[in-house]
Structure 1
Amino acid sequence: MAYGEKRGYDKQARKWRYRGRYKKPDGTWGSVSKDDEGQPFYKERDAEAYAHGLETDVRRKTFLDPRNSRITVQEWSELWIESVELANRSDTTYRQRLRTVILPQWGAHAMGDVTTVAVKTWEQQLRKRYSARYVKSAMSIMRVMFDDAVTSKVRADNPVPTLQSRRRGKFKGRQVEDEVVIATPRQAYLLACNARQMRGVVGYALVLTIAYCGLRISEAAGLRREHLVLGDEGQGPRLLVTEQNQYVDGKPAQVAPKYGSTGSIILPPFLAALLKEVLASHQSEWVFPAPKGGKMHTGTWFYAAVWRRWVDGCAPEADPLGRPARLPELRAVAGVEGLVPHGLRHSMKVWLDELKHPRVAVEERMRHRIPGVEGTYSHTTLPMEKDIAADLQRLWETSSTAVGDDGEWEEPRAARERKPRRKLISQESPTALSGDAVEDEADEVVVT
């Protein structure tokens, strides 16, 4: 039976301290000298009452050893991260968020001392320094870490607010503006024309393949010749998504697509013919090689030196020896400032939704999974796929033969200034690790 006992005299408080003694689940005696708020017991009956409560928890099988909650966040994170099974990029992101944002603030705190109010205050401070997406990512990782701490009986509750519990204080209406920039078929074509001027038919086909197949940029970079089945044997020409280019331990490697989203995508006729032209134009094993034939890397250099020029245009780059300009003059495509390759994946989804294709066929082309009963009983047929290919062919024909006007183009846009909050992010952030790391986080909209 639980009881209290005198421990020692607190000279500062000028009071005697007490501790509670109680029977643990294994039959041994445990002791507790502080309450849930970390305050010592100065009365014997308080210590005894707390110890009685712990014994009640033992009988109800809800007992949490108070000593478990004294483990620091740093110590728990080291145990926890090794227990979580993650894909390579997610593992890199989790460790980076812990190292640069979470642990500098909470690492020295005991797990049991982290409170919801303190976490909420910290979150508001983060929002003043970092982008909303970065803060959301850090908070999600911390929430999962504390969820597992609750499951492992390190503490009784999760102090990281969920979406529901955060709905307090000043009301914040939903943002009307969409963060993702999307393109029309015509804008995708104009973007591809800019790409052709810089990278020839390879750049031209790269943009159109991403747009009309809904590929992630890392998947396009990882396409090999054997991933294209361009002969039509009744199933239509196909592009097989089986792997993607990704950095593993700082080195480029071929890994499974994000979420394991492999698939076979039917190609519209124009794209099948274009990809045949691409394969005939080089000897590389990669469908979209770098200019010298090696694997195309899609890190920050690609975004800054290549992709941004396709979108925002650029002035010609003079040659110091008086030869023809090394970089052609490109005009900016109007209406798509800020577009990233992943925006073309979003764009294809919008085009197919506007054309009223069955949801199951559209989601399968996106390589999403529809949850619940709908996902169980809905199936994509070959006629559905062929209808999508036919409509995409019509979109291409319309966009590529339309009579253009000057309003479709703008003068080259100045390089976008880096936002101040980005300068506060560690150099180990995803934007430093790889150019498409942050972009891929946008794909959290995937239906799972």
Structure 2
Amino acid sequence: MSGADQHIHIEWRGGTCRVKWWSGEYLDNGRKRYESKGGFTDEEVAFNHGRDKLYEIRHGTHVKNRDGATPMSDWLDDWLAAMDHGHLTERGYRSTVENHIRPYFKKQNASVADIDVLAYRAFKKHINAKMKKASSAANIMMVLGMVLDDAVPRLIKTSPVERTRRRGKFVKKPKERKKDMTPQAVEQLACNARTVFGQAGYVFIWTMAMTGMRPAELFGLTREYCYPNWPLSDPRPDDEETERYEEDVERYGRGDNLMPAIRVERQVQYADSTLQFFPPKYESCRSLVVPDFLAELLKDLLASHDHKWVFPALKGGSLGAVNFDYKYWRDVADGADERSGPRTRGARPAIPPVPSFKGRRLYLLRHGHKAWLDEDGHSKFATESRMGHEVPGVEGVYSSVTVPMERAIMKTLQERWDRLRGGSSGSDA
């Protein structure tokens, strides 16, 4: 008998035998900790099973019996506690776990080791039948896949997740159809927004179209980060950014030769039932020059109210605190009938629909800004940096956004406004 075999013991009980093997660990009293499995009717088969377990222990692939028996619900608690993602990503994962994954496996009283390929397929079938959108079901399966992958090798030897491998003819994924964004369409959206929530609505639409800011960044924009206050009003919260703060003043501070700009430093999102500030998506803090016409609109808007938010909601709070799509955007894009009477907050004229945005997302204003920059021939690095995207490879390492690049962006955006005001023809197709 080999040295390793000495750590294997066979015990007969009734008509079956049990094999025990040393786990490689010791109990608190100094004695060896053994694991076991029973139900064998052949002693040689049982002994070989013990050998297999010792082999796994030596090669680091062994799953302890007590680890394999970990309830799925307990593992989900550990997995959630160890998450380190952005706020929105973490909130989405947590929602998926609590609303779909945990209830299903808790009802079955399943351990992590119980989730084999068949159990995985059963859950997938359940989710596909439950969810109306294929994309929602795919997102749930993605989260479950991460949960099970992270259980390897401590709780399970291999993940039961079935990876999709493409076979046969390529099938192109459907892509959202978008229409060209014209200044005429943006102006109509802005006028509609003014009808819905005042001059803040008019400037909000043009700011998004001319900067490409994300909605949550606009919702969270406060006075100190907006022209004409910024950069002189910058709170300067980071001592390590002193050099950047001084450069901002030299580049964007007040003066005839300096460029008006907005600083994207944060966004607003709900956490713990309160609206809070978070870094922008992908921590894409950036400075965005604005054309002269928009600088004047922002200046006049801030002078017209005393709220801390640049674009206040009807009651003065942040737009992030309301259901913006439902309360504002749908009327702005789709149009609305005339409204009056004692149950309304005042008379409101009819709002015309904007055909190219009817039934579509607010986010397409951001997409349209990117298209405008591309049409005007601006450098890829300046465009992607303005959108808050990382530029990979050598271009991202060696390139930088220069003053001439920013002035060129200001110039072409201003020209679009000037052509609109000059009455140039254009259709909202």
TM-score band (shorter)? Answer: 0.7 to 0.9
Deviations 1:98-146 (A, max 9, x none): 1111112223322122123542453354344232332233223222222
Deviations 1:242-270 (A, max 9, x none): 12222121111222222222111111112
**Is 1:315 aligned to 2:316, yes or no?**
no
**Is 1:273 aligned to 2:296, yes or no?**
yes
Match of residue 199, structure 1, among 192, 197, 200:
197
User: Aligned equivalents of 1:73 and 1:324: distance in 2?
Assistant: 51
Change (3 A) 1:157 1:338: farther
**8 Å Cα contact 2:311-2:319 kept in structure 1:** yes
- 1:23-422 paired onto structure 2 within 5 Å: 23-26=22-25, 28-33=32-37, 41-107=40-106, 108-128=109-129, 129-150=131-152, 153-161=154-162, 165-167=163-165, 173-178=171-176, 183-230=181-228, 231-232=254-255, 234-300=257-323, 302-320=324-342, 326-402=347-423, 408=428
Extract unaligned runs of 5+ from structure 1: 10-15, 35-39, 410-448
User: Aligned equivalents of 1:126 and 1:368: distance in 2?
Assistant: 33
User: Aligned equivalents of 1:132 and 1:396: distance in 2?
Assistant: 41
TM-score normalized by the length of structure 1: 0.79
Q: Structure 2 counterpart of 1:59, which letter?
A: R
Change (3 A) 1:384 1:41: farther
**8 Å Cα contact 1:219-1:241 kept in structure 2:** yes
User: Aligned equivalents of 1:286 and 1:106: distance in 2?
Assistant: 45
Q: Displacement of 1:65 after TM fit?
A: 1.9
**8 Å Cα contact 1:217-1:298 kept in structure 2:** no
Change (3 A) 1:3 1:341: same
Q: Displacement of 1:232 after TM fit?
A: 4.8
**8 Å Cα contact 1:182-1:336 kept in structure 2:** no
Deviations 1:34-92 (A, max 9, x none): 7xxxxx54433222222211211222233332431211211100111111123333332
Change (3 A) 1:177 1:91: closer
Which protein has the larger Cα radius of gyration, Structure 1 or Structure 2? 2
Change (3 A) 1:48 1:171: farther
TM-score normalized by the length of structure 2: 0.82
Q: Structure 2 counterpart of 1:283, which letter?
A: D
**8 Å Cα contact 1:181-1:340 kept in structure 2:** no
Match of residue 5, structure 1, among 5, 10, 13:
10
Extract unaligned runs of 5+ from structure 2: 27-31, 229-253
**8 Å Cα contact 2:264-2:287 kept in structure 1:** yes
Change (3 A) 1:214 1:116: farther
Q: Structure 2 counterpart of 1:146, which letter?
A: L
Match of 1:357, SS?
coil
